[in-house]
């Protein structure tokens, strides 16, 4: 296996870390709460999924399909060669090999990214397929890192990791319903008409998300201590975001983007850290 301590690999790692820090302050903070040995692999996974998502979400003046196809080709080439001159892919392939992340998870993720290039009517089956590929498999990649070769532990936590990834993604969909529709022409929730998005629609979606969070929590408390606080903090951030969304009428979500303030995030960090130290999650 490649030496992750060589200058090139360290430089690639710094690129993945930079991408993570630039794109997500919340997840960056959560990663800093992991044990040191976990941080580089999670930065690498986040950098990979962030770049793919960036292609389909923001490169409107370019041929997205060609860019994504090239990114996919380069990903598999990096996995085969165990090296890449794309620093994000070089770091990612190291993590895939070291933690034995299944190719099926990568396949499903890239397939969901490709779905964003087409005009889908999101039936329940299509919605579930997209959620699995865009979010649940990312949770499973991270879980491979957290469990570090403990197959029994990984298998016991798989379903709850999927629930957490699904909950995160669904909260994002609900928070971003306005921008997803106006900028990208997408409404992910099955049976929902953006122009007639009702409080009843919103209530049903929120109930579904809460069920995912409730299931996810059962796994969070059983995670290795090296990962538990960082994942718990992300869970707390997102459940608080969901609470804020619940207090807003459906029409408000179609008008502005709801967020958790930085001051509130600091308070949640403090409270989560205390609860973790007292082992009262």
Whether 1 has a pLDDT exceeding 60, the answer reads: no
Whether 203 has a pLDDT exceeding 60, the answer reads: yes
Q: What are phi and psi of 62, to 5 degrees?
A: -130, 170
Mean pLDDT, residues 11-20? 96
* Confidence tier at 267 by pLDDT (50, 70, 90): confident
What is the 8-class DSSP label of residue 194? Answer: G
Could you tell me the two tokens for 135? 């979010």
**Which three-class secondary structure state does DSSP give residue 197?**
coil
* Confidence tier at 179 by pLDDT (50, 70, 90): confident
Confidence (pLDDT) at 4:
62
Q: Are 209 and 174 in contact (CB under 8 A)?
A: yes
The CATH number that domain 113-281 falls under is 1.10.600.10
Q: What percent of the chain has pLDDT over 70?
A: 98
Element (H, E) at 11: helix 7-23
* Separation in Å, CA 79 to CA 53, 62, 194: 19, 26, 40
Confidence (pLDDT) at 5:
64
- The answer to whether the pTM exceeds 0.85 is yes
Mean pLDDT, residues 231-254? 91
Instruction: Quick: pLDDT tens for 111-138.
Output: 999 999 988 789 999 999 999 999 999 9
Confidence (pLDDT) at 71:
98
Mean pLDDT, residues 107-111? 98
Chain-wide mean pLDDT for the chain?
Answer: 93
Domain ranges of the chain: 1-99, 113-281
Of 118-122, 124-128, 235-239, 243-247, give the lowest mean pLDDT range.
118-122
Count of CB atoms situated within 10 Å of the CB of 81: 10
162 Cβ contact partners less than 8 Å away, ≥ 6 residues apart = 132, 136, 139, 140
Euclidean distance between the first and final Cα of the chain, in Å? Answer: 37
User: Minimal CA–CA distance to 173: which of 150, 147, 194?
Assistant: 194
DSSP result, 48-111: HHHHHHHHHHH-TTS-HHHHHHHHHHHHHHHHHHT--SSHHHHHHHHHHHHHT--HHHHHHHHH
């Amino acid at each position: 296996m490649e030496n992750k301590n060589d200058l090139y690999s360290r430089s690639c790692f710094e690129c993945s870390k930079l991408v993570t820090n630039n794109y997500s302050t919340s997840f960056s903070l959560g990663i800093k709460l992991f044990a040191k040995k976990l941080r580089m692999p999670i930065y690498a996974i986040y950098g990979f999924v962030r770049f793919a998502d960036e292609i389909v979400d923001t490169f409107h003046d370019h041929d997205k399909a060609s860019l994504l196809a090239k990114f996919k080709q380069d990903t598999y080439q990096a996995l085969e060669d165990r090296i890449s001159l794309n620093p994000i892919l070089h770091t990612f392939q190291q993590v895939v090999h070291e933690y034995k992340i299944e190719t099926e998870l990568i396949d499903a993720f890239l397939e969901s990214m490709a779905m964003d290039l087409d005009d889908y009517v999101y039936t329940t089956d299509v919605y579930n397929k997209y959620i699995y590929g865009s979010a649940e498999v990312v949770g499973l990649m991270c879980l491979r890192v957290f469990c570090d070769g403990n197959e029994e532990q990984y298998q016991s936590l798989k379903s709850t990791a999927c629930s957490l990834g699904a909950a995160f993604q669904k909260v994002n969909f609900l928070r971003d319903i306005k921008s997803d529709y106006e900028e990208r022409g997408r409404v992910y929730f099955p049976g929902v008409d953006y122009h007639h998005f009702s409080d009843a629609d919103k209530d049903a979606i929120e109930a579904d998300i809460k069920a995912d969070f409730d299931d996810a929590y059962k796994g969070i408390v059983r995670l290795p201590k090296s990962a538990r606080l960082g994942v718990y903090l992300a869970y707390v951030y997102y459940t608080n975001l969901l609470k804020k969304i619940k207090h807003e009428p459906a029409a408000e979500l179609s008008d502005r983007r709801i967020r958790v303030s930085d001051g509130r995030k600091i308070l949640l960090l403090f409270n989560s850290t205390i609860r973790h130290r007292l082992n009262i999650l």
